[in-house]
A and B are shown apart, each in its own frame.
Chain A
């Protein structure tokens, strides 16, 4: 019988609302990975920061067989809040004399741009962090068109193929955690199946529509409040 492996999924979305892409990806990740051989634990970075403090989360991470960081791309790299989490974990890890030699690390990064590859540098930051704690970075999952990943679209026909790709990448991750993959993968890109032009068009219309709901006219979106 295989040893039970502990996986900690770290949801690094700074959003206050629960309906973020990272929340959606975390749920899909957990659902795809759960099995008799894997125990999945969850850490919510924002919730820990605002309510509980990070020590409980850090203790879980110290004992984990695998860490899966799931977060959005902010201004082409990790959000400030996620950097605070990693910096503080690094300090905690050193203070505790942690040994991450057998911990496998994965990064799942999503962005609002349709191109998944824009997330590549953020994945490399997690690789760099893993190296600093002596952990074994395995691979990243790069997700483009993040706004399309919601609990509602999960069942939409036009997103079916994309969600299947996503689930497959998490199943691969689960196999890797159990030691089935001999070599780490280079990274998996998950793109949405909507033409780029259409996605951008819909997004632009969406901003105007939501601004109108806030009582703003389109031209007000172009305000320049800081010109002296």
Chain B
């Protein structure tokens, strides 16, 4: 079993370091091989909405940087954990940029989800389970609600960490950390 951790190296707060250690410990105990990618400020090019990953080089971003290897690791993992500071109720710039540049992994066409909303179809049959852990020291309820709401739209799971190891451990323990069908 393989787990990928994507973290933001711009926000190496004490809370982050404790969370990072916690996630490593939990995944190691469960027998995962862990790869961690730490995103530095300005390390990745920004998604520029060119759709080259759909109509020029399908499935691959046209920007030649580390994101290609991150997307490859993503597709071949069983579980992916994003550790993101909660910034204005959203993901930080560095984490959001990796999510924007995840776009090659879906198809350009439109489908209608069960709730009637529009989405793009999956490119692959299966994807890793994806968990976004939002961290911070004084998160407000509004910020957490917004972070959860955005993550729900992405059909991913949100968890929070504000220094309480037990709460976050319990939340992760409830999850099935395995690959899942392609419906997004």
Contact = CB atoms under 8 A, between A and B. Distances in A.
Interface residues of A, number: 47
Given A77-B91, A80-B94, A115-B118, A222 B58 contact: yes
A221 B108 contact: yes
A211 B55 CA distance: 5
Classify chain B's interface size: 35 or more
A77 to B, nearest CB: 5
A194 interface: no
Contact of A75 (B48, B72, B94, B102): B102
A18 interface: no
Contact of A20 (B49, B99, B102): B49
Interface string B140-184: 001100100110011000000000000000000000000000000
A80 B50 contact: no
Interface string A1-32: 00000000000011110001000000000000
Nearest to B75: A226
B93 interface: yes
B26 interface: no
Contacts of B105: 226
A20 B50 CA distance: 10
Given A128-B88, A226-B71, A78 B54 contact: no
Interface string A43-55: 0001000000000
A221 B58 contact: yes
Contacts of B117: 113, 115, 118
B49 A77 contact: no
B55 A207 contact: yes
B55 A79 contact: no
A77 B55 contact: no
A95 interface: no
A202 to B, nearest CB: 10
A80 B88 contact: no
A220 B109 CA distance: 13
B109 A214 contact: no
Interface of B: 46-50, 54-56, 58-60, 71-72, 74-76, 87-94, 96-103, 105, 107-110, 117-118, 123-124, 142-143, 146, 149-150, 153-154
18 contacts: A16-B48, A76-B150, A80-B47, A80-B99, A83-B91, A83-B92, A87-B87, A118-B153, A121-B149, A121-B153, A128-B89, A200-B118, A203-B109, A204-B110, A207-B108, A220-B58, A221-B54, A221-B55
